[in-house]
Amino acid sequence: MNEYDIGKAFERIENELIRSMIRNLDRHRAEETELGYNWEQWQVKQLQALEEYKKANRKQFKGRFRRINASIDGLISLARQEGNMSQEKAILEAIKKGYRPRTFKDLFEKYKGKNIREIMDLILRKNIQSEINGEFFKLNDRKMAALIRATKRDFQKAEHAILRMAEDQYRKIIFDAQVYANTGSATYEKAVDMATKDFLSRGINCIEYSNGARHTVADYAYMAIQTACKRAYLTGEGEKRKEWGISTVIMNKRGNPCPKCLPFVGKVLIDDVWSGGSAKDGNYPLMSQAIARGLYHPRCKDSHTTYFEGFSTPPDERFTQKEINEIEKNIKNEVRKQYAKRQVDKYERLEEFSLDDDNKKKYRKRIKSWEIVHSNETNTFKERELRYKDNEGIFTTLDARSKGKDVIKPHNIKKEMRKSEIGKELLQYLEDNNIPVRIFYGVDIEKDIMGYFMDNEIYIYADNTRTVKETTLTLIHEATHAKIRKPNSKNQELECFTNEYKHKGIELTEKVKERIIKHIDNKYDYLEWE
């Protein structure tokens, strides 16, 4: 079992808790009479089912929690060993290429010209130093034992919290279902779906961080074990450096560094945390100071390697403007990708555990929409893999085709927008607020998707819009979303389509409005009227 397996194990437990709850709600239905549903009798039955649910969960998951916790020792210890072996290999490779550790050089220099008594005295002192180093490793052993205990203790608290929250939410749903039924829900299924919607949207997010953000146990467990294993790995590396008398490290440069770690990327540091270094070892910042300023935060993906003083290539600490722009794009892409993935997970829960068929159908459409967004963020929206073909103000054209002609030029879009008052107004709004418009060719996207607005950027798919006029209408639609800046609704779509019709010069008669509303109801049945 690795870090990923532990996260997945908790995810399966969460889904089983929800599935068991929904199964009870589906099995023990409220009895429908001439006067409506008998909710009081149903609540009594469900509260009885809740007691059985609590007993069954504690019995069912006790052993699984124990097995997960038992794997923690092995994972953390193995990470320490892997770090140790990896670092030894790196040091031996450097020695093979000509590097000489300071410890050996100092010893050879001291032996030079000495008689046997003086050499024995130096060896005795070296043995005393070895004893000091031995204390360093014992201290690390105690740190690792404390890390394992703390991780297990945190897991046990999280395991208790997941069961407690599932039970509390079940009880809340039992009483909320009647409230929603009284407000006009026509069927039992719709009333229960309304009662479970908020809970299913969030999942069992029973872990609250210090900043107030709430997370599921699966997400927390993956973060906690990953962080613990990384610390163990760095401890193993540091122990091997300590053996060879090396304490300098360099933070690796990579394409997408964490924002908190960015100030230290490409810099040499003295590792006084894992390698036993100190400020006397050179004119470099201390690792402990960098950590105090945010380096190696939870979920950190950055890492360091050994810097062999006088042998390694001196680092280039400065980033070019091109590198900084690339990092900013990558960070933005990663944020969008993670958000899209959370939306997919949310609607998958709602689709799987809703009782009403209409709701299931509605959520399936939402899953499909967000899967497209997530797929694009993962693959086709990585702009470094696309060729920049045309830039004009806020407009950028990107092409994933091996060859092909641009039929939609930014200056022609702007010319078309200026043909109407609403077009002029929205173009001015986009330019004043510097909202990027990205026109894509050759991306794998469904034919009925012309574009969308997300994270203060507008995406247009030229292969689908095909003409300047259709592209302009799509841009007017998405620019309206950008200007409204609220969660989407049918009312917002009505305003978007209204602006399209204004640009086309079509009079908005009652008949035209009815036609637009009918289209919105059919295409956006997963949205609500406000």
| Tens-digit pLDDT profile for residues 356-372 | 999 998 888 888 778 77
**Using CA atoms, how far apart are residues 520 and 491, in angstroms rounded to an integer?**
9
449 and 424 in a common domain: yes
Range with lowest mean pLDDT among 88-92, 269-273, 368-372, 470-474: 368-372
Q: How much is the pLDDT for 311?
A: 87
The whole-number average pLDDT for the span 121-135 is 49
Assess if residue 366 is contained within a domain. Answer: yes
pLDDT of residue 34: 62
Range of weakest confidence among 77-91, 249-263, 415-429? 249-263
Which position has the token pair 């209409």?
358
pLDDT tens for each residue of 38-90: 788 888 999 999 999 999 999 999 999 999 999 999 999 999 999 999 998 99
Rounded distance, CA 177 to CA 172, Å? Answer: 9
Are residues 421 and 372 both part of a single domain? no
Query: Helix, strand, or coil here: 397?
Result: strand
Looking at 310, 334, 349, the residue that finishes a domain is 310
Residue whose token pair is 């100092």:
106
Q: What is the pLDDT of residues 169-192, one digit of tens each?
A: 999 999 998 888 877 666 889 889
Q: Is there a single domain that holds both residue 74 and residue 198? A: yes
C-beta separation of 72 from 226 below 8 A: no
Helix pair angle (321-353, 3-27), 10° resolution: 30
391 and 366 both lie in a single domain: no
**Residue 473 scores a pLDDT above 90:** yes
Question: How far is 440 from 377, CA to CA, in rounded Å?
Answer: 13
| Same domain for 409 and 374 | no
What are the start-end ranges of the H helices in 203-320?
A: 217-244, 287-292
Strands (E), 8-138: 32-33, 36-37
Last residue of a domain, one of 282, 310, 338: 310
pLDDT at 27: 86
Residue 127 has what pLDDT?
46
Q: For residue 261, what pLDDT is reported?
A: 85
pLDDT at 376: 65
* Residue 226 sits in the same domain as residue 338: no
pLDDT of residue 424: 96
- 248 beta partners: 270
pLDDT of residue 445: 66
Q: Where are the beta strands (DSSP E) in 93-206?
A: none
Q: Do 339 and 399 lie in a common domain?
A: no
In a domain, 373, yes or no: yes
As for how many domains the chain has, the answer is: 4
Task: With respect to residue 315, please indicate whether it lies within any of the assigned structural domains.
Answer: no
Residue 77 forms part of a structural domain: yes
List phi, psi (to 5°) of 207: -100, 120
Identify which of 194, 160, 158, 177 has the alpha carbon closest to the alpha carbon of residue 29.
177
**pLDDT averaged over every residue in the chain:** 84
- Considering the domain architecture, whether residues 237 and 285 belong to the same structural domain is answered as no
pLDDT of residue 398: 78
More confident residue, 293 or 1: 293
The answer to whether position 57 is within a domain reads: yes
Same domain, 228 and 259: no
User: Has residue 87 been placed in a domain?
Assistant: yes
161 with 253, same domain: the answer is no
Largest Cα–Cα distance in the chain? Answer: 110
Tokens matching residue 329? 């794009």
CB 512 within 8 A of CB 501: yes
- Does the residue 399 lie in any domain? yes
Q: Which residues contact 525 (CB under 8 A, 6 or more apart)?
A: 361, 362, 365
**Does some domain include residue 529?**
no
Residue for token digits 């000509």?
A: 98
Q: Which residues of 147-267 form beta strands (DSSP E)?
A: 207-208, 214-215, 248-251
User: Are the CB atoms for 64 and 1 separated by under 8 Å?
Assistant: no
**Model pLDDT, residue 382:** 45
Domain span at 272: 247-310
Asked if 228 and 338 sit in the same domain, the reply is no
Looking at the DSSP assignment, which residues form a beta bridge with residue 392?
Answer: 395
What's the rounded Cα separation, in Å, for the pair 169 and 258? 36
490/407 same-domain check:
yes
Average pLDDT for 224-228: 91
At residue 455, what are phi and psi to the nearest 5 degrees?
A: 50, 45
In the listed set 244, 259, 284, which residue is the last one of a domain according to the structure?
244
Q: Phi first, then psi: what are they for 305, rounded to 5°? A: -130, 170
**530 CB burial (10 A radius; 0-12, 13-18, 19+):** exposed
User: What is the Cα–Cα distance from 405 to 169, expressed in whole angstroms?
Assistant: 56
